Amino acid sequence: MTDFLKPMVEIEHLHKTFGPETAVKDFNLSIAEGEFVTLLGPSGCGKTTTLRCIAGLERPESGEIRIGDEIVVSPEKDIYLFPEHRNIGMVFQSYAVWPHMTVFDNVAYGLRVRRASSAVIKKQTTRALELVGLDQLAERYATKLSGGQRQRVALARAIVYEPKVILFDEPLSNLDAKLREQMRDEIVRLQKEVGITSVFVTHDQSEALVMSDRVVVMDKAVIQQIGDPQTIYANPVNAFVANFIGVTSLLEGALLGRTGEYCDMEIELGNGQAPLRIQAVGGDGAEQGSSVILSLRPEDITLHTEAPSGTSYGNLLEGSVIDTVYLGSFLECRIQVGSHEIGIQIDHFEQLEPGQKVFLTFQPNHGLALAS
Ligand SMILES: Nc1ncnc2c1ncn2[C@@H]1O[C@H](COP(=O)(O)OP(=O)(O)OP(=O)(O)O)[C@@H](O)[C@H]1O
Ligand SMILES: [Mg+2]
């Protein structure tokens, strides 16, 4: 990760309600100059509302937002700047291009509104079109463009007046899978090339992990965790984040105590099976006897078709195959363990039959205990 120094967007104690509903609750985040931050979370968790508060399209009840050195909103200080005075570019899900204008005029529009000279308009519009790879199509009408090309026009429009910050609200969700990936990589390349501070909203976790310097995971109007993609994936702070980021199996249990760096846990298997003692890492903040959740990633579980000789730490689960799904380079397999379904990944050459008895093991440092 790049080291970022100067804050560009600072959000403190942001609070926004719609009638009885709290859309964003005590949101705090400092985004550095040139950083790419993604707001990630399920539908309705408050991502768009946060973005719209930064843009000035929603007015929060309380809190403060600064962009650069300027306070753009603070109900307490009676400050509110209109969107057009915030020096922000925006790209939304809908392409928002004007059909009756050429590509060039669509992109130049923002500069014309700002009464830029024609020399500046020509220079900056041409540069923005080059950056998004549309310089050859400058004179084409926007109606004669593909979805991906329209989204590039929207991107060029957002960057043409060289704003301090660019806000993206699910800009890729109207594109098909392949184009989506291509545009995703292009946005990242463009962002690094221009070095513009970016806030990107998505509910697609793989998009967030691939694109971002840092990810802000939200649920029910509240930030759950802020961290770089590796941290969010490997060290989720709670079961919500573990479950939302990537695939994981969650098993409830209790913390018995600690042995060195490991937590000793007893997990409930259900379906009449005796509770199982295991060792895992994590368990931060959990006290002895309190309930904890074991998070197991599919790639961290080893499958055995014969009972393996015992492990010193006892992380051995017995189960039966439910089904397998072919995913190209590997198979995804669901295993019934007690009342749980546990997902694992296996090499494609392994033959598994539904109902077949199997054994699962995992290293203590591959299981993560999470305070529930
Ligand atoms: N203009 C509005 N009037 C009333 N309620 C609203 C309004 N805008 C948003 N909300 C509510 O605020 C909450 C947060 O909405 P928001 O649009 O920020 O969610 P989101 O995370 O962007 O979801 P999605 O992934 O579906 O776009 C939701 O419960 C939503 O119903
Ligand atoms: Mg939204």
370 CB contacts (<8 Å, ≥6 apart)? 236, 237, 238, 239, 242, 282, 283, 292, 293, 294, 295
Angle between the N-to-C axes of helices 118-131 and 147-159, in degrees from 0 to 180, rounded to the nearest 10 = 130
pLDDT at residue 17 is higher than 50: yes
Q: Report the C-alpha gap between 233 and 65 in whole angstroms.
A: 28
Residue 69, CA distances (Å) to 8, 118, 166 in order: 8, 30, 17
* Mean per-residue pLDDT, 351-364: 93
Among residues 257, 239, 253, 241, the alpha carbon closest in space to that of 209 is found at 241
CATH number belonging to domain 7-240:
3.40.50.300
Give 157's pLDDT tier (boundaries 50, 70, 90): very high
Q: Is 216 in the pocket of ligand 1 (CB under 6 A)?
A: no
Query: What is the CA(221)–ligand 1 centre distance, in A?
Result: 9
* Surface-to-core class of residue 179, CB atoms within 10 Å of its CB (0-12 exposed, 13-18 middle, 19+ buried): middle
* pTM for this prediction: 0.85
Task: Quick: pLDDT tens for 231-284.
Answer: 999 899 999 999 898 888 999 999 999 999 899 999 999 888 889 999 999 988
Residue 54 token pair: 């930064």
pLDDT digits (tens, 9 = 90+) for 171-180: 888 778 888 8
CATH 2.40.50.100 residue ranges in the chain? Answer: 247-371
Q: How confident is the model at residue 5 (pLDDT cuts 50, 70, 90)?
A: confident
- Pocket probe for ligand 1: among 45, 199, 207, the residue whose CB has the most ligand atoms within 8 Å is 45
Which part of the chain is CATH 3.40.50.300? 7-240
Nearest CA to ligand 1 atom 6: 18
3-state secondary structure of 80: strand
- How much is the pLDDT for 1? 47
- The architecture that CATH gives domain 247-371 is Beta Barrel (2.40)
